[in-house]
Chain A
Amino acid sequence: EIVMTQSPATLSVSPGERATLSCRASQSVSSNLAWYQHKPGQGPRLLIYGASTRATGIPARFSGSGSGTEFTLTISSLQSEDFAVYYCQQYNNWPPGTFGQGTKVEIK
């Protein structure tokens, strides 16, 4: 099973600042990686697929990069609604398509 490792576990950021989240795969997943935003009481929201393609309706401040085993999600200027938990998921080996443990982006 491919293990996805996210860092950091928690990221404290001030509104308007840039946030950079990392995701590492235990073996290459090519560009078959998705990012999700998860808020309490809601289902996760697809932000990015194909490592860098924004999903429908996702603001341009969200961007994804990387391939192989190293991936990054960047939020260029954090808005109040962006404070949430973010998960990466590989689907190169799907099913099961494993998820990372998540990075919580909190207000500094």
Chain B
Amino acid sequence: DVKVTQSSRYLVKRTGEKVFLECVQDMDHENMFWYRQDPGLGLRLIYFSYDVKMKEKGDIPEGYSVSREKKERFSLILESASTNQTSMYLCASTAAGEWLRELFFGEGSRLTVL
């Protein structure tokens, strides 16, 4: 089975802190994604990566950056956390190919910024 593992289920940080959210997948997928989920807004794409060291902005990249140094790992970075970044963060991965396959999701990381 595909496994997407997010390092922390729950985090509490203070305004201005640097936050790292880690995601690891074990199925050699080329594509990895970071989404943010908020009530009434659904899932919104922050960044995605289609290869090592490659990244593309999603719909709401402001205030975030990402790192993909190894194929299996995709990190989301909040350089200076703010209260409006309190949210559920979901990582996903999928294999590359001619047709878009289903995304496999992690369990999510719920971040609270005080």
A binds B: no
